[in-house]
Amino acid sequence: NASTVLRGALVGCGFFAANQMRAWQELPGVAIAALCDRDAGRLAAFGDTFGIEHRFDDIETLLTQMAVDFVDIAAPTPAHETLVTAAAHYGVDIICQKPFAGSLATARRLINICRKHGVSLTVHENFRWQHAVRRVAELIGEGRIGRPFFGRISYRSGFDVFANQPYLATLERFIIQDLGIHTLDMARALFGDVVRLSCETGRVNPDIAGEDHATLMLRHEAGCVSVVDCSYATTLADDPFPQSLIEVDGDRGSIRLAADFQLTIHGPGGSATVEDVTPTWPAWSEAPWNVIQESVVALQGDWIERRRAREPAPTAGPDNFNTLALVEAAYQSAATGQSVEPERW
């Protein structure tokens, strides 16, 4: 019923949750009715900032006391298993941040629990929702460059992500799990599922635990070969953080998405059409995060429509399982020096 306002609870009131909250507040037909965070200080500050009165320090109490249609989980991955399981038991729909689970076995179990309880599960995998990425997908979909045979998704930056997200410096698995997961998901969204993958990684920054650059080669089922590369160790005068640059070669043309949303479509006979695909930024967004913030609004807006139509979202659990499987395969390939056939849902 389109006239009913969907009531949600936001679980995890940290750094990224503020973007999700602002997006819910700008979208029609939805309201965040309650907050949950086990850190009392964060809960209070977040609740005061966004004017949310109902606050809980654990999800079970929240779900017992509040009638909500969905939970939006913005807590870190180690908390997801408990939170998703609780929400499924209470029969409420779930949106959960990436990385959805710490292992494929956990991801499989959680997806099955949600199925058993008849609740929808959407992973907040937002990068494929960026306006420019959607335009590239649209061009490929309408056959503008023919059949893609090569792709590249490149994310290279030296931005200090540790300032806002200090936990990233402690992760044994850093860039592929945190950021590469998005670029791999974009590769799947643009070129389809992956049958074989190889990966090389390294670390430049001596002050962090995990890898800070990774280069992957993917063979997609539909035939395309893609290169996905990401780095937080790259020094650039015009750091494009957090933009992804994209190249696609098809048998009838090519697409180049350059920095600052300059997209060129190359056609036969040397033709080139340039499009400025700069999005309309949300009023509350701020550089350099606006690219990501715009995609949060797009993902959550789509989620509302799908929820009303009772349709699975593009990044529903089973779809995201196949992205998570690429992350696992990448670490396996980097550790063994072998190419890997990723698991599939």
CB-side exposure of 336: number of CA atoms within 13 Å?
A: 12
Residue at 263: amino acid letter = L
Q: Work out how close the CB of 96 gets to ligand 89Y at its nearest, in angstroms, rounded to a whole number.
A: 13
Q: Which of 35, 86, 98, 325 binds ligand NAD (CB under 6 A)?
A: 98
Of 171 and 217, the one with the shorter C-beta distance to ligand 89Y is 171
Find the DSSP H helices in 145-205: 175, 181-191
Interface with ligand NAD in residues 40-59 (CB under 6 A): 42, 59
CB-side exposure of 48: number of CA atoms within 13 Å?
A: 6
Q: Work out how close the CB of 224 gets to ligand NAD at its nearest, in angstroms, rounded to a whole number.
A: 25
DSSP readout, 58-83?
Answer: SHHHHHHH---SEEEE-S-HHHHHHH
Q: Does 76 bind ligand NAD (CB under 6 A)?
A: yes
Q: Does 210 bind ligand 89Y (CB under 6 A)?
A: no
Q: Does 256 bind ligand NAD (CB under 6 A)?
A: no
Q: Does 151 bind ligand 89Y (CB under 6 A)?
A: no
Q: Exposed (0-12), middle (13-18) or buried (19+): which is 83, by Cβ within 10 Å?
A: buried
Q: Which of 54, 15, 18 is nearest to 35 (CA)?
A: 54
Residue at 289: amino acid letter = W
Q: Identify what 179 binds: ligand 89Y, ligand NAD, none; CB under 5 to 8 Å per kind.
A: ligand 89Y
| Structure-block tokens of residue 85 | 């399981």
Q: Work out how close the CB of 272 gets to ligand NAD at its nearest, in angstroms, rounded to a whole number.
A: 32
Q: Does 12 bind ligand NAD (CB under 6 A)?
A: yes
Q: Work out how close the CB of 327 gets to ligand NAD at its nearest, in angstroms, rounded to a whole number.
A: 12
Spatial contact of 222 and 183, defined as CB atoms under 8 Å apart: no
Q: Does 122 bind ligand NAD (CB under 6 A)?
A: no
Q: Does 228 bind ligand NAD (CB under 6 A)?
A: no
Q: Does 97 bind ligand NAD (CB under 6 A)?
A: yes
Q: Work out how close the CB of 19 gets to ligand 89Y at its nearest, in angstroms, rounded to a whole number.
A: 10
Q: Exposed (0-12), middle (13-18) or buried (19+): which is 334, by Cβ within 10 Å?
A: buried
Of 126 and 226, the one with the shorter C-beta distance to ligand 89Y is 126
From the list 24-32, 177-185, 265-273, 330-338, the region that binds ligand 89Y by CB under 6 A is 177-185
**End-to-end CA separation in angstroms for the chain:** 32
| Structure-block tokens of residue 296 | 């949060």
Spatial contact of 63 and 92, defined as CB atoms under 8 Å apart: yes
Site track 213-242 with ligand 89Y (rule: CB under 6 A), x = hit: -----------------------------x
Q: Which of 33, 62, 75, 186 binds ligand NAD (CB under 6 A)?
A: 75
Interface with ligand NAD in residues 145-174 (CB under 6 A): 165, 167
Please tell me the distance from the alpha carbon of residue 226 to that of residue 154, in angstroms, as a whole number: 10
Q: Which of 37, 81, 178, 328 binds ligand 89Y (CB under 6 A)?
A: 178
Q: Which of 32, 34, 37, 183 binds ligand NAD (CB under 6 A)?
A: 37
Q: Work out how close the CB of 178 gets to ligand NAD at its nearest, in angstroms, rounded to a whole number.
A: 6
Please tell me the distance from the alpha carbon of residue 190 to that of residue 102, in angstroms, as a whole number: 25
Q: Print burial letters for 177-197: b (CB count within 10 Å at least 16), e (below 16).
A: bbbbbbbbbbbbbbbebbebb
Spatial contact of 78 and 17, defined as CB atoms under 8 Å apart: no
Q: Which of 10, 17, 63, 111 binds ligand NAD (CB under 6 A)?
A: 17
Q: Which residues sit at the interface with ligand 89Y, rule CB under 6 A? A: 161, 165, 178-179, 182, 242
